[in-house]
A and B are shown apart, each in its own frame.
Chain A
Amino acid sequence: MFLGEGAGAFNHRSWNAPMSTTVSSPQTQLSALPPGGSASKESIAHARRRRFRPYLVLAPALILTIGIFIPFIAAICLSFTDYSLNSSDVSFIGFDNYLSMLQSSDFWHSLWITIEYAFLCTAVEMLLGVGVALLLNDENIVARFLRIVLIFPLMIAPVIGTLIWKLITNPSVGILVGPMRMIGLGDFKWAASPDSAMFSLVVVDAWVYTPFVIILVLAGLRSLPKSPYEAALIDGGSPWFVFKNLTLPMLAPVLLITLVFRLMLSLQEFSIIFALTEGGPGDATMSLSLQAYNRAFPFYGLAEAIPMMLFLWALVYFVSFILIGFWRRAQQRAAGVA
């Protein structure tokens, strides 16, 4: 009624029935199954259909991704030509664009500005952000209020934020003119002077992006497990000891991923610099993005601009690749601590 021939000896209702003493092999030997002993054509097709399903579901995104990919391919191709926006004949010139880029002092200046900008912004935002996040990880009315409104500077367009700061530091209507005069900096020129342009950019960038660091670090702080702290409390560790040996290692993954995001985006920041200084005064804040923009648009040197951007892309990748490696290790280590 229900068993194959080979298994017939083990009629399952015979729980109390006398059994033969020696069971040569109690392992049920099933007779070869008559139909479908091996996968049928149908089932192979079925399996193939299933294997294909992920790609089918991904297809729209993949097509769009390829669409997005085109500019990158085109950029690489264009970098080997002398294409410009005001002439129609194009010829292949090999690595000439790259060579002239490497020989240009403008490029090296802009690279330095780019790194300086990214370093200063990231350093200020990380220090300020971690500090504020530690202060905010507490229940008091100021902290609760700040946690809610904190996101406003981050959510409004960086360009709008820059615009507001332009108004604030404006010599005729700016609110900061009076106070600056009071502390003896009446002629502080903010973005208008080459000496303070970078400083002004960092202030604006920090205003826009510090909340980003705060929000992520705060989330990291709040997800820390409680038990190691209780243990440390029993062991009587000082607050600094606890921070250095517990909080920091457990927070390391969040800190690193925040650092990656901030570095990647500040290395290629365009809109804040464009809105505040346009790379000036002179070329005091001419980062690679601004340099490429200026080459390509007002001066039609598209082919000269692209190698710089490819270089920047490579730089962003290199930095993030290394940091993400650290991040993965920190995650594993943090898992060990927790």
Chain B
Amino acid sequence: MSTLTELSLADARDGLRAKKFSARELAEAHIAAVTRIKPLNAFITETPDAALEGAAEADRRLAKGEARAMEGLPIAIKDLFCTEGVLTTAGSHILDGFKPPYESTVTANLWKAGAVMLGKTNMDEFAMGSSNMTSYHGPVESPWRRRGDNRPLVPGGSSGGSAAAVAARAALGATGTDTGGSIRQPAAFSGIVGMKPTYGRCSRWGIVAFASSLDQAGPMTRMVRDAAIMLGAMAGHDPKDSTSVDRPVPDYEKALTGNVRGLKIGIPKEYRVDGMNPEIDRLWEQGIAWLKAAGVETVAISLPHTKYALPAYYIVAPAEASSNLARYDGVRYGLRVPGGTLDEMYEKTRAAGFGKEVRRRVMIGTYVLSAGYYDAYYNKARQIRTLIARDFAEAYRKCDVILTPTSPNTAFAVGEKMDDPIAMYLNDVFTVPGNLAGLPGISVPAGLGGDGLPLGLQVLGRAFDEETVLRVAEVLERAADFKHKP
């Protein structure tokens, strides 16, 4: 029943409840799809048995009329989330063979809501990348191709395996994590929806840490409604993460009223960057026109420190990463390369275990935190962060949400942009400010470029106002009516 994999997550949920098909049939269709997309290398570990077990339990509950919010819905999990007894690598050689003895809070919440696991998805090593090319387990191929060109393309990153799996109809949804755009950019490249919630909305406990003050988990799905359902299951206060915020989780699906009349949408002038693809500019104009037609008012806003977001990010994120990744020492888990002394063992293990991009960032982080440079780099970057957050606070006095493109370009070919780290970093120019300020953002597929590849628009909102972000995103989705498939 391949048509089952074409359903949106919301329609699959409704179909299960209406007994149109069983959770077992839904799981089997998706397990077959996971096998079919093996050439994309989207999964590091497949867990068909877990999916079937979960489906059996779901069918029992559905029969008794006790279905939970995501009962029987097959999803994929980024390999950054610890899953009890299931290999968790973070895309790195250094976590070879690591089977966590515990479950991350976000995945535990998803299983408590009835979702079932198809497997663990490939990703840039330790979530450092925008292409999925830095994975120790090899690059992920996007299911998309440029018009008239069969070269393999990247799905974006770092949540590239999740994006490819959802776009290729092998999962109804997938978890991602977003430190500088790692949910939204691959969602835009792959023609799907990806949401980064407000910092603190989802627990970070049990997620392999990259940059703790920026990391946030979120849903990747094909429709905005699906993202609302999945976020509702993922979110919530967790005493085990001291930055997780104790406030009730709204019914996000209820927020999708379709009514955006009277809302004010900010259009930041600083997001018109030099050398931006003119198609992306046109799509942005189109997005503005769609929202105006739906009754919103547009407001010109200024976020004057936008151009400093990326350089600030490339201090803060590597600094935190260098601290977080200190734990990979060959002693407690993962890879160990023997050495004559303890230090030699550390150095050899970390040299063999980390890929080039991770090594680069750990070294940058080590340098900017080292004695004598801390103020010049790390504190300076934290001051810039304050200014960026102030820019947003000022803007939100005039508007309710902000509309921008998600990425300055469409997907590129596997192997491109690898020789210049800074060219790669520019992929995240529109997404990084939201992380630095901790704000919620969503990417919605809005059209195709001339090359036949998907383009996304981003809606950013006020802290903890995911509801308005989702409501606007759904209106945008309806107007764009994106029906293209890879």
- Does A pair with B? no
Q: Which residues of B contact A (CB under 8 A)?
A: none
Listed in ascending order, the chain A residues whose CB lies under 8 Å from chain B are: none
